[in-house]
């Protein structure tokens, strides 16, 4: 899509956006940057350099123009967890977003831009992107575990079964570590954002 089409698309999104809507800005690297539309053409979001949504140095909640945040992205209104999580009133969403401007903190797994945006709208910090990766990793580990279990039980020789059982034990330990890590990384109230004021 050329820049003119992207511009026209984003103008339409900006016309349709209402205060408290979550805006998603898909980036070229295969992830999306997220922010909260607060009206009059502004977005509050957790980002590094203005609008980049990528840099982890000095990541701060900031208020930028929609166009700064959008950059070359085709924005979309994506109130992703409406109907799943409890929706806050629009004024409360904006108030929550504004209350964090200037706060710092970033963790890819527990305090990223999508966590910030969903916390403002739903009072629960969630990231569909992180959840999708967690699901994929869990599925892959489950598949490896199943293969190792099958080899441990059915390999034709004793050495093969023994080696598979050792690898199965390692795999199960990795799964336990992953589960522990993911549980310890949850930050549903964004306590990871510290005041910088």
Backbone CA torsion sign across 30, 36, 38, 39: positive
Indicate which residue of 45, 103, 115, 120 is catalytic.
Answer: 45
3-state secondary structure of 196: coil
Distance CA 133, CA 108 (A): 11
Give yes or no: 158 in active site: no
Given the residues 103, 113, 115, 120, select the one marked as catalytic: 113
Q: Which of 33, 103, 115, 120 is catalytic?
A: 33
180 given a catalytic annotation: no
First to last CA, the chain: 41
33 is catalytic: yes
Catalytic residue numbers read 33, 45, 113
């Amino acid at each position: 899509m050329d820049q003119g089409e992207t511009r026209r698309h984003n103008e339409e999104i900006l016309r349709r956006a209402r205060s408290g809507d979550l805006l998603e800005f898909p980036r070229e690297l295969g992830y999306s940057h997220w922010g909260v539309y607060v009206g009059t053409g502004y977005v509050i979001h957790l980002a590094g350099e203005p609008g980049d949504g990528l840099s982890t140095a000095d990541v701060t909640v900031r208020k930028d123009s929609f166009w700064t945040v959008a950059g070359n992205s085709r924005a979309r209104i994506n109130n992703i967890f409406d109907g799943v999580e409890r929706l806050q009133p629009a004024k409360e969403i904006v108030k929550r977003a504004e209350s964090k401007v200037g706060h710092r903190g970033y963790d890819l797994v527990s305090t990223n831009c999508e966590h910030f945006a969903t916390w403002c709208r739903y009072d629960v910090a969630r990231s569909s992107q992180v959840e999708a990766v967690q699901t994929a990793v869990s599925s892959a580990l489950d598949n490896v575990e199943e293969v190792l279990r099958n080899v441990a039980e059915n390999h034709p020789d004793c050495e093969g079964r023994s080696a598979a059982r050792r690898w199965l034990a390692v795999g199960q330990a990795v799964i336990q570590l992953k589960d522990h890590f993911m549980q310890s990384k949850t930050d549903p109230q964004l306590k990871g954002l510290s005041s910088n004021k």
